[in-house]
Amino acid sequence: MAVVMRHPNLIRAAVLGLALALASALSADQVPLAFSTRGGDAWDFYRSVDVIVPAGRCDHIAISSPLTTAVLPPDRGQVHIRVPLQPGENEIKAECREHGVVQGAAQQNWHVRLRNVPTTWIHVSESSKGLILDAQASAQAPIGGSAITSYEWRTRDSNMACLPACRRTIRALNCRHRRRMASTLSG
């Protein structure tokens, strides 16, 4: 006996509708979280993150980056935090937790285009004895950087001036012309 299908598109639509209804019923308990901004390029090692959650649906929101995780209670349906980022790709994830159980999640990606290196700030001033070079305003690397413990001043190969060795501040005696100089920081 042959079965003739008169309405194959109607049957496909009914099966698809049942599948969608089942999927939405299974995920009805998921709490919708949303970041207030999209990810993208970052030109700083810290990013302010706002997560929006329906009021009363989560007792805590966990926000994690590659460097840290923070768990905060929502305040009027949102959580605000400043998270540290590392150079390169960073996945930020937010989880809605009710009594420690994850009820929903969202994520975004940030790409930090900076290098995590110390910054040299050299202050040059003049005194009656010559130039004074000072690097005390230099800063360690922004993320997990160790303190700068010493400075080394040296002339470039093309510079004919002779500089005495000294820490932090050096006086280049009898310098009548501006010379190109390089500094090395060590930590």
Question: Which pLDDT score is estimated for 165?
Answer: 45
Can you give the pTM of this predicted structure? Answer: 0.60
Q: Give the tens place of pLDDT for each residue, 101-112.
A: 999 999 999 999
- Its domain, for residue 44, covers 31-112
Residue 38 is encoded by which pair of tokens? Answer: 């999209």
**Does some domain include residue 75?**
yes
Count of Cβ atoms closer than 10 Å to residue 154 Cβ: 13
7 inside domain: no
User: What's the number of domains the chain is made of?
Assistant: 2
Higher pLDDT, 114 or 4: 114
Tell me what pLDDT residue 66 has.
95
- Position 155 scores a pLDDT of 72
SS3 130: strand
One domain for residues 107 and 132: no
Digit-coded pLDDT (tens) for 123-177: 888 888 887 888 888 888 888 877 777 777 777 777 766 555 443 344 343 333 3
Predicted local distance difference test score (pLDDT) of residue 102: 92
Q: What is the pLDDT of residues 8-42, one digit of tens each?
A: 665 565 555 544 444 444 444 577 899 998 999 99
Which pair of structure tokens corresponds to residue 135?
A: 């690097």
d(CA 106, CA 108): 7
